[in-house]
Amino acid sequence: MTCYSRCGRSRHNHSSHAWGVIYGCNIFLPLLAAQDEAYIVNTASMAGFMTTAPLHPYVASKAAVVALSETMAHVCTTELPHVGVAVLCPAYTATSIGNDERNAPAGHIPRALADPKLQELRTQVNKDIDKGVSTGYVADLVVAGMAARKTHTFPSPEWLDYWQDRVDRVRQQIDVAPTAT
pLDDT per position in the chain (181 positions), as tens? 444 445 555 666 667 778 899 999 999 999 999 999 999 999 999 989 888 766 778 888 899 999 999 999 999 999 999 999 999 999 888 777 766 777 777 887 777 777 777 778 778 877 877 888 899 999 999 999 999 999 999 999 988 998 899 899 889 988 777 777 7
Domain 3-172 part of CATH 3.10.129.10: no
Residue 28: predicted pLDDT: 96
Instruction: Please give the model's pTM, rounded to 2 decimal places.
Output: 0.79
Kindly list the domain boundaries of the chain, sorted by start residue.
Answer: 3-172
Residue 11: predicted pLDDT: 67
- The sheet with strand 83-88 has its strands ordered as 38-43, 83-88, 152-153
Residue 7: predicted pLDDT: 58
Give the gyration radius of the chain's Cα atoms.
19
Residue 74: predicted pLDDT: 97
Q: CA 28, CA 45: separation in Å to the nearest integer?
A: 21
Check if the beta carbon of residue 45 is closer than 8 Å to that of residue 90.
yes
Residue 79: predicted pLDDT: 96
| HEC per residue, the chain | CCHHHHHHHHHHHHHHHHHHHHHHHHHHHHHHHCCCCEEEEEECCHHHHCCCHHHHHHHHHHHHHHHHHHHHHHHHHHHCCCEEEEEECCCCECCCHHHHHHHCCCCCCCHHHHCHHHHHHHHHHHHHHHCCECHHHHHHHHHHHHHCCCCEECCCHHHHHHHHHHHHHHHHCCCCCCCCC
Q: Is 131 helix (H, G, I), strand (E, B) or coil?
A: coil
* Among the listed residues 41, 143, 140, 20, the one whose alpha carbon sits nearest the alpha carbon of residue 84: 41
Q: Is 85 helix (H, G, I), strand (E, B) or coil?
A: strand
Residue 3: predicted pLDDT: 43
